[in-house]
Chain A
Amino acid sequence: MKKLLGSAGLCLCLAISACGGSGGGKKDEASPGVFDPFPSTYAAYPSETTLITGATVLDGKGALIENGRVLIQDGKIAAIGADITAPEGAATIDAAGKWVTPGIIDNHSHLGAYPSPGVEAHSDGNEISAPVTAEVWVEHSVWPQDPGFTRALAGGITSLQILPGSANLFGGRGVVLKNVPARSVQEMKFPGAPHTLKMACGENPKRVYGYGRGFPGGAPFSRMGNVAGYRTAWIEARDYKKKWDDFAANGGTEPARNLELETLAGALSGDILVHMHCYRADEMAIILDLSEEFGYKVASFHHAVEAYKIADKLEEYGTCSSMWADWWGFKMEAYDGIRENIPMVHNAGACAIVHSDSDIGIQRLNQEAAKAWADGKRAGIDIPIEVAWEWLSLNPAKSLGIDSKTGSLEPGKMADVVIWSANPFSVYAKAEKVFIDGALMYDLNDPAYQPVMDFELGQPGEGDHK
């Protein structure tokens, strides 16, 4: 995964200087090179020392423990195994017959930016004012009152990446959130998560800027226009980065800040992780070359409908593919979608991720993984369920640079934990209890732990089962 995330040692000083120059902002914990005037104010909610017993436990990094136990202490995983005893005063949850897993991480969501209700006034996901809008940050669009967050919580989602849409070559910065109800997006921001950059291949940018918005439209008009657009922007970003590197090394006059180039320079330095919307195998191959031309890394291809065709190349390069289980055919670049994409990518040794890109799909990513797992099995790719769970938590965590903090049940990691009523690869399983940093945030059987968003108050359906 080192290959994937690029060298943290190269983190540039550009934004540190910018930070000093502008004042008021904070250095990002994980990416000191990134200036963040909107820092996380997330604080874990109170948790009690809790021992979960008797469950089938998937640790999220390849192990299945029968009759297993998980100890949560101070909001962290304290221990996991078969022979753990509860400390004095610990609460105990008898989870016999149930399953326990790490919380699911969806690395492709537009919740909050395209919230419910999906009325015109809420369309905040795409800054379609220019093909390059690396200067926008999707967190400035996120409406924390989106009821979609609570439905995702009931599906066991504990963290998620919100991305700007894919209208643009460079859509802007994404943001990683803890899935807790909040008044502001800062109260949801995953502490220390690296910033991310959304880029898009293929049909969307050329449709929005080319013929789709009126002939003659603007650039890009074609796939070759897309690639020319990326390269032009990266060349500018490289010059910009050099100015700041020189300034940091030699002093002199502080270069003027440019929000667009600041984001791109952060991606070049490896401080900002690139998430690339790309369906077709041939386009992904071009992007791999392009990233090498400019020296950045693709953290994950998103949608990656044809990843199965180049799974060996993706493995060699060391990037992830974020995929749907079975979406296909809705547009030309999705035409070659197959049900075995995820297991075939996994089988080649590449990093496979199940993502949603949907306010409906995010509620049952466990089922999406189960479909892909079963389809793989029928095609002769037999992956243990405990390994397949990595598609839902550890691998997305890696793609977001937060795998040292969450994504598996390991001592010292955040206690992001789900207790399922049954094997979560069953359509009948439901998330019964969802803990985030050890705090119980959702309980299927207790209305006191079922959040109701402001928008829903006083409306038909308030507090109903969802």
Chain B
Amino acid sequence: MIRSLILGLAALGLSAIATAQPVAIIGEKVWTGTAQGTLTNGVVVVEDGHIVSVGTGAAPAGMPQVKAKWVTPGLISAFSRTGITEVPGEKSANDTGAGGSPFSAALNAADGFNPDATPIAVTRLEGFTRIAVAPDARAKLFGGQGFLADTSGLPGSIFKERAFAYLVLGERGASLSGGSRPAAWTVLRGAFDDVRFFTARYMTHNDGNVLTRMDAQAFMPAVRGEQLMLIEASRASDLEAIMDFKQENPMLKIAILGADEGWRVADRLAAMKIPVIVDAFSNLPSSFSQLAATSENAARLSEAGVTVAIVNLNDSSHQARLAAQVAGNAVANGLPFDDAMKALTTAPAEIFGMSGLGALAPGARADVVAWDGDPLEVTSAPIAVFIDGVSEPMESRQTKLRDRYMDLDHSDKPFAYRR
């Protein structure tokens, strides 16, 4: 029954080719992400790619309907590498980083994005409609420029290039800077100098103390506080150092990725309004930077008033989709359900300045997901996904492989003829 609905919607999506039809999306529960809270028997009315109304009344007469157990805003992956690598283990199919490049902060991840990459549809099928994508840091502690995209798989799905500068501190930053934390901080301060004295420093040279001309230019908006600086770090002392740096440079817009020991400095993070993006699975002393890692990190940070987004860092390209499971585990470890949902919707929207996304409200862009159960449950899945009001195909290379091999009787023809 559900399957035929999915296939029906897929056919609809394929034939619709990015035209948004009016639709009423009806949920036994509708989690809005706004002051409306969670509605029982709610109706989300979508027209022209936007949400017209969110309420509990009857659906407009004659409008096509989708009925579901739960309805939520499209989920947002707050940190991923989805779409910039097809197969991470194959160099030829991996554009996440460039250890051999002379450039670092200037590397623009958007240049490597492929909306046809198979992980895009796989991610969308799990209810993720928007992704923040970061390059990896390989040559220096500066990874480069991250971007924001939808998961429609269509050309033009990047809606904000150079949305943030990504850099790594802590152990990785140390290792990429020559071997120590002092070296990493020297590199970072040197890079700030290069940017601040850009005009003089690069008048006759292409290289500054740390950055090439192109890197310094690309890093400039972050240094001026005009662009978000997303910094990976985990140890409490590393987080303190970042906050000290922010105190010296109050204009900086900083968010922290990882923050496994974040709960130990949660009050200061909250006071300084520094949001964090955490992996709530991280509960092992995987390194000497994570000795205080606990599954309750997200709960404690949220309790302290820190803006928390939740991601799956273990495989952030093909398995970014597992963030919903990770958030469910955060709930099992003390995070209120609402905060866990916010960590997948409103929090990433706030961190990356995605206006009109992350919540179901009149006027918002119509990224809506209809689910067959609680969206954080491992047994639940979307039955329909809308991006800007367009009903998306609910199929991927994975579902096609599944369908090809569901019946193993091939006495008639080889499997390759089955499509």
Asked if B286 is at the interface (CB within 8 A of a chain A CB), the reply is: yes
Q: Mark A352-370, 1 if CB is under 8 A from B, else 0.
A: 0000001110011001001
Asked if B89 is at the interface (CB within 8 A of a chain A CB), the reply is: yes
Q: Per a CB cutoff under 8 Å, which of A311, A329, A363, A379 touches B408?
A: A311
Whether A116 and B285, one on each chain, are in contact in the complex, defined by CB atoms closer than 8 angstroms, is: yes
Chain A residues with Cβ below 8 Å from B288 are 117, 119
Chain A residues with Cβ below 8 Å from B296 are 464-465
Q: Per a CB cutoff under 8 Å, which of A312, A327, A332 touches B87?
A: A332
Asked if A127 is at the interface (CB within 8 A of a chain B CB), the reply is: no
Q: Mark B308-328, 1 if CB is under 8 A from A, else 0.
A: 000000110111001001001
Whether A367 and B293, one on each chain, are in contact in the complex, defined by CB atoms closer than 8 angstroms, is: no
Whether B3 and A428, one on each chain, are in contact in the complex, defined by CB atoms closer than 8 angstroms, is: no
Whether A456 and B285, one on each chain, are in contact in the complex, defined by CB atoms closer than 8 angstroms, is: yes
Chain B residues with Cβ below 8 Å from A332 are 87, 89-90
Chain B residues with Cβ below 8 Å from A311 are 408
Instruction: Give, as a whole number of angstroms, the nearest-CB distance from A97 to chain B.
Output: 16
Chain B residues with Cβ below 8 Å from A456 are 285, 291
Instruction: Give, as a whole number of angstroms, the nearest-CB distance from A21 to chain B.
Output: 44
Chain B residues with Cβ below 8 Å from A378 are 2-3, 6, 372, 381
| Distance, CA A456 to CA B294, complexed state (A) | 13
How many A residues are at the interface, by size bracket?
A: 35 or more
Chain A residues with Cβ below 8 Å from B401 are 336, 338
Chain A residues with Cβ below 8 Å from B294 are 461, 464-466
Chain B residues with Cβ below 8 Å from A6 are none
B residues 374-393 in Cβ contact with A at 8 Å: 376-381
Whether A461 and B378, one on each chain, are in contact in the complex, defined by CB atoms closer than 8 angstroms, is: no
| A331-B333 contact, Cβ under 8 Å, with A117-B286, A360-B281, A425-B378 | no
Q: Mark A303-314, 1 if CB is under 8 A from B, else 0.
A: 000001111100
Instruction: Give, as a whole number of angstroms, the nearest-CB distance from A150 to chain B.
Output: 10
Chain A residues with Cβ below 8 Å from B381 are 374-375, 378
Instruction: Give, as a whole number of angstroms, the nearest-CB distance from A421 to chain B.
Output: 9
Q: Per a CB cutoff under 8 Å, which of B89, B331, B379 touches A331?
A: B89
Chain B residues with Cβ below 8 Å from A203 are 89
Whether B405 and A344, one on each chain, are in contact in the complex, defined by CB atoms closer than 8 angstroms, is: yes
Chain B residues with Cβ below 8 Å from A308 are 402, 405
Asked if B336 is at the interface (CB within 8 A of a chain A CB), the reply is: no
Whether A118 and B286, one on each chain, are in contact in the complex, defined by CB atoms closer than 8 angstroms, is: yes
Instruction: Give, as a whole number of angstroms, the nearest-CB distance from B308 to chain A.
Output: 17
Asked if A76 is at the interface (CB within 8 A of a chain B CB), the reply is: no
Whether A379 and B281, one on each chain, are in contact in the complex, defined by CB atoms closer than 8 angstroms, is: no
A residues 78-128 in Cβ contact with B at 8 Å: 116-119
Q: Per a CB cutoff under 8 Å, which of A367, A430, A455 touches B325?
A: A367
Nearest-neighbor residue (CB-CB) of B119 within chain A: A329
Asked if A337 is at the interface (CB within 8 A of a chain B CB), the reply is: yes
Instruction: Give, as a whole number of angstroms, the nearest-CB distance from B237 to chain A.
Output: 10
Chain B residues with Cβ below 8 Å from A338 are 398-399, 401-402
A residues 373-397 in Cβ contact with B at 8 Å: 373-375, 378-380
Q: Per a CB cutoff under 8 Å, which of A151, A336, A348, A460 touches B284?
A: A151
Nearest-neighbor residue (CB-CB) of B333 within chain A: A465
Asked if B58 is at the interface (CB within 8 A of a chain A CB), the reply is: no
Chain B residues with Cβ below 8 Å from A290 are none
Asked if A243 is at the interface (CB within 8 A of a chain B CB), the reply is: no
Asked if A147 is at the interface (CB within 8 A of a chain B CB), the reply is: yes
Whether B379 and A425, one on each chain, are in contact in the complex, defined by CB atoms closer than 8 angstroms, is: yes
Most B Cβ at <10 Å: residue of A311, A374, A455: A374
Chain A residues with Cβ below 8 Å from B150 are none
B residues 231-283 in Cβ contact with A at 8 Å: 236, 261, 264, 281-283
Contacts from A to B (Cβ < 8 Å): 116-119, 147-148, 151, 203, 308-312, 326-332, 335-340, 344, 348, 358-360, 363-364, 367, 370-371, 373-375, 378-380, 425-430, 455-456, 459-461, 464-466
**Could you pull out 21 A-B pairs where Cβ atoms are within 8 angstroms?**
A118-B286, A119-B288, A151-B283, A310-B408, A331-B88, A332-B89, A340-B402, A344-B406, A360-B281, A360-B282, A367-B325, A370-B378, A371-B379, A378-B3, A378-B381, A425-B379, A426-B379, A459-B285, A460-B264, A464-B292, A466-B283
Instruction: Knowing that A466-B283, A466-B295 touch, tell me 20 more A-B residue pairs with CB under 8 angstroms.
Output: A116-B285, A117-B288, A151-B284, A331-B87, A336-B401, A363-B283, A367-B325, A374-B380, A379-B406, A425-B378, A426-B378, A427-B329, A427-B378, A428-B377, A430-B332, A456-B285, A460-B261, A460-B264, A461-B293, A464-B296
